[in-house]
Structure 1
Amino acid sequence: MNNILLRLSSQENIYLELLCSQQWLQADGKLDRRSPLRDIPLKTFPLPENLTERVWKLAQFPKMDKYLPANTDWLFAPMETYIPVSRCPVAVTIHDIQAFETDLPWSNTREHRWFRYKWSQWIYKALANYRVIFTVSEFSKHQMVELLGADANKIVVVGNGVEQSFYDIASIDLLKLERPVNNPYTFIIGGLRLRKGADFVLDVAKGLLDANSDIEIVVAGDSEPEYVAAAKDLPNVKLLGIVPDNDLPRLMRCASSLLFLSHYEGFGIPAIEAMAAGTPPIVSNRGSLPEVVGTAGIVVEPEDTAAIVDILIQLEENSQLRQDYSQRGKEHAKQYTWSRCVDILQRAFYEYR
């Protein structure tokens, strides 16, 4: 969201203002100093954001037209929400519709059913009333059409971009970088969580131990308690917890592979970040991941532990294989830039207005 809005605001032919609740303003009338969007001009409304958004979604009220300048060409919501306006067309970004998937391990839990119910209160209105729907993959577009009956002609696939730091670190000598462990390792972003395939990852860790491999699994991100407890019994799993964004390119570059065995992704940015850094990604054959990595990544059945262990060992032991996937990945990742995303957005704003 930050990358898209910052780049839109820098375009010569676009004047961008933020619309947000007054509750987010600091004493100087701007957003928090830590916000990358702080210097973009603001329009505010007086109501609390969370309560107002719930009412928007449930009752399509209050109308927000009076808070928009008279010459507004578009209202753009860069994340999933419903904002009632009639003065101008509306565009929204919907990253995925996981809420409506029925074959995920958690699809029938009470929490997910409630999640689905809440989304059902607004998403059909958004799909019907909004002029254009942006999304991040052909997979997400297909699911909106298939599961929700959305008009495919209104959905524009924008994709995602990768921070420049991941491209930059690909050319740095590995010997000059600090490693999180001494042994070779495969890297995980997103913590050990059910949605991210934690069960599959722990099975792979056990498989590596059974194969007497010295490859470790290094995990960045917040992990769910049950998987933290399970990982304590596995000496080849290292949990880093939440790490600073600036450390991620280094951690990715030093890894012999990225292991991304998620059950469901609308896009899966870590796979492209790995490619940009020159690290081969091993991804599950679920959701958008096969689409995103194409033939430049390694797509696996996440339940096939033995095959995954074998791939990890091959990538570590066969430098030519690893180099081949590294080069293919770097070339593939070149197309995933924030500038390209903004170009697609701009074309859509002109085409659909």
Structure 2
Amino acid sequence: MNIVSYIHPVSTYVPCTGIGKHINQILLGLQDRDEIALKLLFSQQWLTADGRLDPRSPLSPLPFTTFPTAENSTERTWKLVGFPRMDKYVPDGTDWLYAPMQTYIPVTKSPVAVTLHDIQAFEPDLPWSHTWQHRWFAYKWGRWVRKALTDCRVVFTVSEFSKQRMVDLLGANPKQIEVIGNGVDAAFFEIAKVDLARLDRPTELPYIIIVGGLREKKGADDVLAVARVLRDRQSDLQIVVAGNSESNYVAAVQEHPNITLLGMVSDSDLPRLLRCASSLLFLSPYEGFGIPALEAMAAGIPAVVSDRASLPEIVGDAGIVVDPTQTEAIVDILVDLDRMPQLREEYIQRGHHHAAIYTWSSCIDRLVTAFHTFS
């Protein structure tokens, strides 16, 4: 099967977000399948001086073809007016034009499949849903998402939650949507076997880890509330934050000596930081999937997640699901996980077994099966 995959190369540079991980792992996995011939498609602007894809992308060794126009302007016209059609940049004999990311691509010579990781833009009841920024975001997405759901042969997504929201909010045909999911990299399982005494820690005190930075859309206000209660209780539990934070929260941290901001951390460092933590706290109000929760489970720590969007589905009964606004109850749980070895071990074992279900290989199996089914 000949597959051409459209990507935004910058999204694949490591360290990357959950969507970037999805793109990299899915395409590298497809490349390893004997029955798949894979070629990337992206704007020529991303080529380095030697005519290659930047080595910061794990996809740089893969074969590729390019188009000459700028990515942003080209994709904007695709989404607004369905032009320019990309048929001349898709090689003859292509069985599928596939995007493991959220976009709309006008092409007629082969069936098209795109991936909608979530449809947060159309959610009516998020804390920011009625801001002008969100309304503008929803307007822009509205110009192309419905076309993608209508024109693409199949639309992939990563959770049953996201699939159902496409049906509920956009009237999508559920038979046209396939849930592919996400996986967990082997490094997170491997670190769980390492003696903690051999690992460098960001603080000698016990700590809770936050992945994704302090940002409104990751539940930063609820995290700050947890930090405040921990301090009021004179707990020695610290909060360590991996990922870039919004400037207003960086300033707010000055009032919270029990919070440490690490900024972006490398893919090689994240498993160690998770392994050394007492627990993961993931209070995001909206996730299409929520890879950090599974990565924490794989690394051998309990995951405490919000009861919003896809997170209850993804962690099942292996995680601890909380109302992110119930700060006192959350702090009770975090303290108990740190001080009660039996409770902690119970969730470590549950989580480790649960995370093992989520493999990139099984995601690729579902993807390839869908390509055959919809051909």
Q: For the superposition of Structure 1 and Structure 2, which TM-score range results when normalised by the shorter chain?
A: over 0.9
Provide the secondary structure at the position in 1 that maps to 2:161: helix
Report matched runs for 1:133-282 at 5 Å.
133-282=155-304
Q: State the shift of 1:87 in Å.
A: 0.8
Q: Give how far 1:65 is off.
A: 0.9
**1:105-124 maps to which residues of 2 (within 5 A)?**
105-124=127-146
Is 1:132 the counterpart of 2:154 in the alignment?
Answer: yes
How far, CA to CA, are the matches of 2:329 and 2:256 in structure 1?
20
Q: Secondary structure at the match of 2:260?
A: strand
Select 1:62's aligned residue among 62, 84, 96. Answer: 84
Confirm whether residue 86 of structure 1 aligns to residue 121 of structure 2: no
**Aligned to 2:38, what secondary structure does the other structure show?**
coil
**Cα distance in 1, alignment partners of residues 213 and 24 from structure 2:** 23
Q: How does 1:288-303 map to 2 (within 5 A)?
A: 288-303=310-325
SS of equivalent to 1:128: helix
Equivalence for 2:352: 330
Q: Deviations over 1:293-327 (max 9, x none)?
A: 00000000000011001001100110011011001
1:43 CA displacement = 1.4
Q: SS state of the match for residue 126, structure 2? A: coil
Unaligned runs of 5+ residues in structure 2 are 1-22
Q: Which moved more, 1:46-55 or 1:293-302?
A: 46-55
Among candidates 280, 296, 306, match of residue 284 of structure 1: 306
- Count of aligned residue pairs for this structure pair: 353
Deviation track 1:119-171 (CA, whole Å, cap 9, x = no partner) reads 00101100001011110000100100000000000111111111111010001
In 1, distance between residues paired with 2:51 and 2:30? 22
Q: Distance in 2 between matches of 1:274 and 1:239?
A: 18
For residue 178 of structure 2, give the secondary structure of its aligned residue in structure 1: strand
What is the distance in 1 between the residues matched to 2:208 and 2:82? 47
Q: 2:69 aligns with which of 32, 35, 47?
A: 47
The equivalent of 1:101 in structure 2 is 123
Q: Distance in 1 between matches of 2:185 and 2:226?
A: 29
Moved more, 40-49 or 100-109: 40-49
Matched, 1:17 2:39: yes
1:68 to partner: Cα distance: 1.4
Amino acid at match of 2:86: M
In structure 1, list runs of 5 or more residues that go unmatched: none
d(CA) in 2 for partners of 1:242, 1:21 = 27
Aligned residues: percent identity?
63
Q: Which contiguous aligned blocks of 4+ residues in structure 1 show a shift greater than 4 angstroms? A: none
CA RMSD of aligned residues (A): 0.9
Question: How far apart, CA to CA, are the structure 2 residues paired with 1:232 and 1:178?
Answer: 25
Matched, 1:74 2:96: yes
Q: Separation in 1 of the partners of 2:310 and 2:283?
A: 12
The alpha-carbon deviation at position 27 of structure 1 amounts to 3.1
Cα offset, 1:16, TM superposition: 0.6
Partner of 1:38: 60
Deviation per CA, 1:251-282: give whole Å up to 9, x if none: 00000100000010000000000000011000
Shift of residue 283, structure 1, vs aligned partner: 0.2
Write the distance in 2 (CA, Å) between the matches of 1:206 and 1:326. Answer: 26
Q: Tell me which residue corresponds to 1:339.
A: 361
SS at match of 2:208: strand
Structure 1 residue 236: deviation in Å? 1.0
Cα distance between partner residues in 2 of 1:35 and 1:238: 29
